[in-house]
Amino acid sequence: HLDGAIEAAGGQVVAKASARIATIASYRMPGVASSAQLIQLDLAGIAVSAGSACSSGSLKPSHVLAAMGWSETEAAEAIRVSFGPDTTRAGVYRFIEAWRRIAERP
């Protein structure tokens, strides 16, 4: 459901065709820097990251995405979302709505 909502809002699911860990996802919002997404999501009370897990706290584009053949611009538009045992369905829907609002901004 989350991947479909991201794509419906014009986003891209990173490594969609690959086997992925269910608790970590990465999404790209074309045309919107990950730093802008982080700020807007933080203002909405949602904590996400830019970059790979091993560079948590960094705003540098993910070296993992670069290794996958993504351009620096594409990698700089991606965020990493983590889900844990306390993540609720309501929390996921809140993320989707906040992300959609960012994507719809001119």
Quick: pLDDT tens for 81-99.
Answer: 999 999 999 999 999 999 9
pLDDT at 66: 78
For 82, half-sphere exposure in the C-beta direction (CA atoms, 13 angstrom radius) is 11
Residue 69's domain is classified under what CATH number?
3.90.1150.10
Quick: pLDDT tens for 3-16.
Answer: 999 999 999 999 88
pLDDT at 79: 93
Residues paired with residue 36 on neighbouring β-strands, in sequence order: none
Is 18 a residue whose pLDDT tops 90?
no
- What's the total number of domains in the chain? 1
Instruction: Write out the residue range of the structural domain in which residue 23 sits.
Output: 2-104
C-alpha–C-alpha distance, residues 102 and 106, integer Å:
9
pLDDT at 68: 85
Q: Which residues are catalytic?
A: 54
Quick: pLDDT tens for 32-85.
Answer: 999 999 999 999 999 998 865 544 455 566 778 878 888 889 999 999 999 999
C-alpha–C-alpha distance, residues 9 and 100, integer Å:
6
pLDDT at 78: 93
Parallel, antiparallel, or unpaired: how do β-strands 24-28 and 12-13 relate? antiparallel
pTM metric for this prediction: 0.84
pLDDT at 55: 47
- Unique residue bearing structure tokens 């820097």: 33
